[in-house]
Amino acid sequence: MSILQASGLSYAVDGKPLVVDAGFSLEPGELTALIGPNGSGKTTLLRLALGLLQAEAGSASIDGEPVARLSPVERARKIAYLPQARPLVWPQPVRDVVSLGRFAYGAALGRLSAGDEAAVSHAIGACQLDGFEERAADTLSGGELARVHLARALAAETPLVIADEPVAALDPRYQHQTMRLFASMAQGGHGVLTVVHDLDLALRYANRVLWMHEGRIVADGTPEDTFTSERLRRVFGIQAEISRNGASFRLDILGPA
């Protein structure tokens, strides 16, 4: 059964449609990449699907329950959402920031159960933050802080993880490590959706790709089926070639179309 099911979602501001009749489902065991140009509606679609924005039409449910009926705590136990904008103003130690991921389970700082502690330590390790636990978060580099936010989301140990551009600030090694981590979580039975602008990462790691263009989902399928030169030109306005090398695919972006 799908963990998240959305259908017919639409949303407009001042008469301008930002999301139009968009539907998708997220399954356990799948790493889904949501791709599309700047301003195509990816963040808005995710916020609608999570019930953080009120849709004008359409519906979304999590584990069969309409999102509007879930309390924030119930939703936080099912889905870890890592938003694109991640404000952090206080100089909290990294371990405390990651511990925020356990609040949906009743944890409070200085009052973490053994299970909470284990989840926090596991997330810190998974995001390669060992040694950073006591550092004040406001002294971290942009990429280090991005990994702290990811660790906070993972510490919640939810069946579904939705991350909006989690690798944008990361160097190539951590970008690949993060995508590998998502792929292994999916193999372990989680559902994972990530927004990525690096098309090569989507092609290489995702089982499934949702293509968004001008507020609509214009393709939904495997990377092999959906990555075509024609679609890359139409959706992203780029000239690109796809070639097959054994089981893997290679994407060459030649420039703007």
Ligand X SMILES: Nc1ncnc2c1ncn2[C@@H]1O[C@H](COP(=O)(O)OP(=O)(O)OP(=O)(O)O)[C@@H](O)[C@H]1O
Which chain residues interact with ligand X by CB under 6 A?
Answer: 13, 18, 36, 38-44, 84
Tell me the closest approach of the beta carbon of residue 245 to ligand X, in angstroms: 29
C-beta of 117 vs 220, nearer to ligand X: 220
Tell me the closest approach of the beta carbon of residue 32 to ligand X, in angstroms: 15
Tell me the closest approach of the beta carbon of residue 192 to ligand X, in angstroms: 18
Count Cβ atoms below 10 Å from residue 147 Cβ, excluding itself.
27
Around 182, how many Cα atoms within 13 Å sit in the side-chain half-sphere? 32
Tell me the closest approach of the beta carbon of residue 254 to ligand X, in angstroms: 22
C-beta of 41 vs 166, nearer to ligand X: 41
Around 101, how many Cα atoms within 13 Å sit in the side-chain half-sphere? 32
**Pairwise CA distance, residues 145 & 221, whole Å:** 32
**Pairwise CA distance, residues 106 & 111, whole Å:** 9
C-beta of 133 vs 214, nearer to ligand X: 214
C-beta of 41 vs 51, nearer to ligand X: 41
C-beta of 58 vs 101, nearer to ligand X: 58
- Token pair 């919640």: residue: 156
- The residues pairing with 82 across neighbouring beta strands, listed in sequence order, are 163
C-beta of 100 vs 169, nearer to ligand X: 169
Tell me the closest approach of the beta carbon of residue 164 to ligand X, in angstroms: 7
Buried b (16+ CB within 10 A) or exposed e, 155-184: bbbbbbbbbbbbbebbeeebbbbbbebbbe
Tell me the closest approach of the beta carbon of residue 209 to ligand X, in angstroms: 15
3-class SS of residue 215: coil
3-class SS of residue 13: strand
**How are strands ordered across the β-sheet holding 65-66?**
16-26, 4-13, 57-62, 65-66
Return the sign of the alpha-carbon dihedral for residues 178, 172, 47, 73.
positive
C-beta of 39 vs 125, nearer to ligand X: 39
Tell me the closest approach of the beta carbon of residue 24 to ligand X, in angstroms: 14
